[in-house]
Amino acid sequence: MTEAHRQVAIVDDDPRMRRELELTLLRHGYHPVLFASAEEFLELGLATEFDCMLLDLRMPGVSGMELLQRLRPRQRSYPIIVLTSEKDVGVEDEALLTGASAFLAKGTSNPVLLSAIERAIN
């Protein structure tokens, strides 16, 4: 599958971060699908099979970690990359044990982010 057909879900409550990630992915041939909350994803995104998800860890309401835990029993076949502005080894370990493919700091350089997406998809 070519990058142009790869759908990447972006779940983040920060509109500026969603837009920044969207533009980065569009520039590199991906098809980003944006969700402003975990609740919105649970309502609208579960029926779609994404190639990858970028998931903000800290969100009001249902957190990224809670969403990750809810998706695990559903055995989603797509990789989930967790993004956070807080570096916490315990939380990172929990996310990876819960099924995250990678754990990245928000603001990670585009080459590192894109490389993580490609590794996760492949």
pTM comes to 0.88
Tens of pLDDT, residue by residue over 71-119, are 876 656 789 999 988 766 667 677 777 778 888 888 888 899 999 999 9
Contacts of residue 121, defined as CB under 8 A and 6 or more positions apart, other chains included, come to 6, 51, 52, 79
Q: At what angle do helices 15-27 and 110-121 cross, to 10 degrees?
A: 70
Question: According to the model, what pLDDT value does residue 74 have?
Answer: 62
3-state secondary structure 8-24: EEEECCCHHHHHHHHHH
- Taking alpha carbons only, the member of 88, 90, 49 closest to residue 71 is 49
Q: Half-sphere exposure (CA, 13 Å, Cβ side) for 13?
A: 13
The partner residues of 31 in beta bridges, in order of sequence, read 7
DSSP 5: G
- Backbone conformation region of residue 92, classed left if phi is above 0, alpha if psi is from -120 to 50, else beta: alpha
Q: Domains plus CATH for the chain?
A: 3-121 (3.40.50.2300)
Confidence bin at 43 (pLDDT 50/70/90): very high
Question: According to the model, what pLDDT value does residue 1 have?
Answer: 44
CA distance 35 to 119: 23
Average pLDDT of the residues in 24-37: 96
